[in-house]
A and B are shown apart, each in its own frame.
Chain A
Amino acid sequence: QQQVKQSPQSLIVQKGGISIINCAYENTAFDYFPWYQQFPGKGPALLIAIRPDVSEKKEGRFTISFNKSAKQFSLHIMDSQPGDSATYFCAASNGGTASKLTFGTGTRLQVTL
């Protein structure tokens, strides 16, 4: 049972453009929604995260938008750069003391010159 659905599977954006990746979840007990960035041969690294008590969080060029009623959240990368080319995973957990993450299937982003 896939509890976090992610789209698109791959994305090509020109340098300077906006990259948008979407996720939808089913489990209403989820209360923590991180995005991870993964480069080839490396483990995922936390990029930005949000809790459902806010609708948006911005850190530099990265913004999470969160829609609790629709059970959807998205990552926006402004002014996309070639160095942003990586695979991005959304995830969710229901906190507490066992914060195992449920991941989406990933989006491979390529930023072209």
Chain B
Amino acid sequence: GAGVSQSPSNKVTEKGKDVELRCDPISGHTALYWYRQSLGQGLEFLIYFQGNSAPDKSGLPSDRFSAERTGGSVSTLTIQRTQQEDSAVYLCASSPLPGSSYEQYFGPGTRLTVT
């Protein structure tokens, strides 16, 4: 079946603009995660959604970052007033259920460049 898809694959934006990144998880997966991968860094957890529970936002770096998940499926990560330090690859992952017994399947990522 189809894997996790993300769009756009690349996004170039000017400093100060808002951007929206989209994630389509694997159908039926209830858990959805956003991570950020900066050059030379590992992956940094941003936010986690599970069903109708309140999301775990503990990894969001500032209040310029927000995310939502509509209908328990598609998720959108929004970055307001982008800064150059926001440049990174944003990765989405989904898993069938929450908990470490379940593999997280990653999408190909969105490469964001803020000029």
Binding site for A on B (CB under 8 A): 4, 31, 33, 35, 40-45, 48, 50, 56, 59, 91, 93, 95, 98-104, 106-109
Inter-chain contact A43/B42, CB cutoff 8 Å: no
Inter-chain contact B41/A105, CB cutoff 8 Å: yes
By beta carbon, the residue of chain A nearest B45 is A100
By beta carbon, the residue of chain A nearest B111 is A41
Size category of the A interface is: 20 to 34
* List of A residues within 8 angstroms of B41 by Cβ: 105-106
Chain A contact residues: over half helix, strand or loop, or mixed? loop
Q: From residue B99, how far is it (CB to closest CB) to chain A in Å?
A: 5
Inter-chain contact A105/B56, CB cutoff 8 Å: no
Binding site for B on A (CB under 8 A): 4, 6, 31-32, 34, 36, 41-46, 89, 91, 93-106
